[in-house]
Structure formats: C-alpha cells, structure tokens
Amino acid sequence: MRKKIFSWLVASPPRTLAIGFAFIIGLGSFLLHLPVASSSGEETRYIDALFTATSATCVTGLVVVDTGDHYSVFGQIVILTMIQIGGLGFMSMATLFAIFLKRRISLKERLILQEALNQSSIEGIVRLVRRVVLYALTIEAAGALLLTIRFLTNMSPGRAIYYGVFHAVSFFNNAGFDLMGGFSSLTGYADDPWVNLVSMALIVVGGLGFVVLSDLTDLRGGRRLSLHSKVVLTMSGSLILFGAIVVFAFEYANPGTMGPLNTGTKILTAFMQSVSPRTAGVNTLNLTDLRQATQFFIIILMFIGASPGSTGGGIKTTTFAALLGAVWAIIRGREDVVMFRYRLAQERVYKALTLTLLALALVLTATMILSTTEDHHFLMILFEVVSAFGTVGLSLGLTSDLTLFGKIVIMLMMFAGRLGPLTLGYALVPKRDKVLYREAEGKIIIG
C-alpha cells in the first residue's frame, strides 16, 4: 500500500512539483510558528504562520501580519529563504546542489526541471538552470547594492545592507514582501526616483523569464531573438506603457492619490503602479484610495501577470498574446495565428484558451465563495482573489480581516497560481493514453 501511494506521488513531474512546494510551505510554517521567529518572542498563530509561508513560497506577498513589525530577524530570514526557493523553484536549487556535489542529473529530474521552468524539451535544461541561478544572484546583488546606497542616507550601515538585500531578493522574485512596517509598502518612497527605478527594474527583469534573459545575453554572440522572446518583450513593454497611461489618466486629479503630487512624481507613480501588478505586489500609492476604475484595471493587469519561466504568476503575457492573435485572426478571416511572421501551432492556441478558462474558473469560484464568507465589498474580494492567483501581493486591506476559511481559500489560490492551473490539473488528474483516432467532424453555430 505504501509503495502504491509513493509511486502515485512521484509518478509525474507536475505532481512532484506540487509535493515539493507543499513540503517547503510546511517546513516554513513550522519555523515561522516558533517563538524565536516573532519580534515579541511569542508563538505566531499557526494559521498565520502557514499563510505567510504559503505567500512567501508562492512569491505572492499577501500578509496577515506585517513582515517588518511582527517577525524577528530570524523570521524574516526564513521568509527571505522561502522567497528565493519559491522564485527560482526548489528543483533549480536542488539541481544546483547536485551540480556542486558533481552528481549526475537523472532523466526523471530533468523532466521535473522541464515542467518547473516551463520548457518544451529537456535539451540544455541543466545549462539553463546554471544560467538561472547565475542571472538571479547577479541581478539581486546589483539591486541590493543600489538599494543599500540609497538606504545608507537614512539608516545605519548594517540595517541599510540588510534592507537592500531583503528588498532586492523580494522584488526580483516578484514577491512583494517589505520591511517598511505598518503595511505601508513603498508609499514612503513615492517621490524617490532612485528607489522607484531600481525596484521597477528588478520587478521587470524578474518577470521577463530566464529564457528571455538568456536570449538577450546571447545577442552578443550574433544570435537572433527567438519568437518567444520577441512576444514577451513586446507584450511586457506594451502592457507597462499602456498601464501607466491608464493609471495616470484615471488618478491624475484624484486628491487621495496623485492629485497633490507634481507631474514628475505622478509619472513615476503611474509607472510603478503599472509595473507592480505584473505580480510584484509593491505599491507607492494607497490602493484603497484609488478610483474603482483604476482598481478594476489593476485586477486585469494582475490576471495577465508576468511571462513564462519567470518568478511571476498570472496567465502569462504569451497566453494573452496568443488569445489576442486568435481574435485578430478570426476577425480577419484567417485560419492561422501569426506573430512576427511565424505561425503558431493550433495546440498552443488551445493551450492558451484552456489555461485562461481554467484560471477564470478558479478566480470566479473563489470569489463567489468568499463573497458568502467575508463581509466586504465584491470588488475588494475580487481584487484579493486575483492578487492571490496572480501571486501579486497587492491588497485593498482584506487580507488581515479574513476569516479562517477565507485564509484557507486565499492560500489555495496562491498555491494554484504559483504552480499554474494546467500543472495543478496534470498533478491531480491521471494521464491518459494518447487517442489513436479522430471522431467524425460536426458543426455548431457560434456567435
């Protein structure tokens, strides 16, 4: 019986990934539950420790207690470690240790890495893992140095270095955790170009995906960008620019947000609020004071999310691009979805549609459930659910008021968002043999 259970648990890469993330969450929640993890020296309620561990491992950033105020340095380091493991993927970290120990990476492990990094084949997967870790540590180190330089102007050297490292790792991994206290995020630095630009750079680079970073690095060798990288860079740039324009237009005269700011600061905050919903969870404006139209627009950005193979969540920019391409093709009466003179395989379009519908089903179901258990406005609940699914971490203040059942639902959404609806589906549903025949074609009326 035990052998059957174990063989089922490790039978597929998606299932192994789900178990691995669940194990890290369990271990992290145990450590955060200890008295030494809190600044008061008292035990943190286990449900709150579990919520924080889930949020950190799933690089979300939603918190029921403030990270800077509630947790001790030990607790904060535990959170930071989970963010790093959750952002890069526990299999990437395990593979790195195996490489250091000069142990051969098995085929099974390569298949799990393929699933974790969202790759189409296992060719060059170990080389990609090496690059993933190298890029991450290099970018985080650069970000930590730049943030430390700024924090040195109003902090002691030790605290400035600690804050610089913590926020660089958090922002690059699109986690959104901060140590500023009072659930304030970066609102105290709304008019600080240095902190804003460095933070946005870390968030954007972390959300592009390691495959794109690898492609950009190889440009020096005369290689061209792949179709994937072109789509990611185009969609990411377009969404950031369009998002900034919309936020700027909606909030320009809002006395509770951008109204009192000068034009330069308004532009800066508009771009930050456009970049952050790409699963980063950092805000320089008080989100509860935003107009409802802006809040709903941020929900859309959070749902789209970052790019495949990155530290971010959401349905991903390439999925959104494939859907837009399919709509444009249908409107023009074309059968093929074409991007940059390349035709997308029909399987890719089907996968994009399936992923989007599964994501919508998860979000709508969780929103309907929480609408019956939580005494709050519908938009606030929808915002929280999409933030959890997109592993964003932005909140309108609902997280700390959630009931026990509400916390469980949000934790499940964070877990599903980090793994991805398709991966979670593959993990839960047994794989069936390939069908060797096709049914007769039928027609239905659409539209």
Cα separation of 410 and 427, whole Å?
A: 20
Cα separation of 72 and 84, whole Å?
A: 18
pTM: 0.87
- Tell me the pLDDT of the chain (447 aa) as tens digits: 555 544 545 556 667 777 878 888 999 999 999 999 999 889 999 999 999 999 998 888 888 989 988 999 999 999 999 998 888 765 565 555 555 555 566 666 566 566 555 565 666 666 767 777 788 888 999 999 999 999 999 889 999 999 999 999 999 888 888 888 888 888 888 888 999 999 999 999 888 887 788 788 877 766 788 888 889 999 999 999 999 999 999 999 999 889 898 999 999 999 999 999 877 888 888 889 999 999 999 999 999 988 887 777 888 898 999 999 999 988 888 888 888 888 888 888 888 898 899 999 999 999 999 999 998 899 999 999 999 998 888 888 888 889 999 999 999 999 888 877 766 665 556 555 666 666 777 777 666
The stretches of 117-192 forming alpha helices (DSSP H) are 125-151, 157-172
Cα separation of 258 and 311, whole Å?
A: 30
> How confident is the model at residue 225, as a pLDDT?
84
Taking the mean position of all CA atoms in its chain, how far away is CA 13?
A: 20
Cα separation of 261 and 69, whole Å?
A: 28
> How confident is the model at residue 307, as a pLDDT?
85
Buried b (16+ CB within 10 A) or exposed e, 36-65: ebbeeeeebeebbbbbbbbbbbbbbbbbbb
What does the DSSP 8-state code read for residue 441? P
> How confident is the model at residue 6, as a pLDDT?
47
CB-neighbour burial class of residue 101 (10 A; exposed 0-12, middle 13-18, buried 19+): exposed
> How confident is the model at residue 371, as a pLDDT?
93
Cα separation of 337 and 346, whole Å?
A: 8
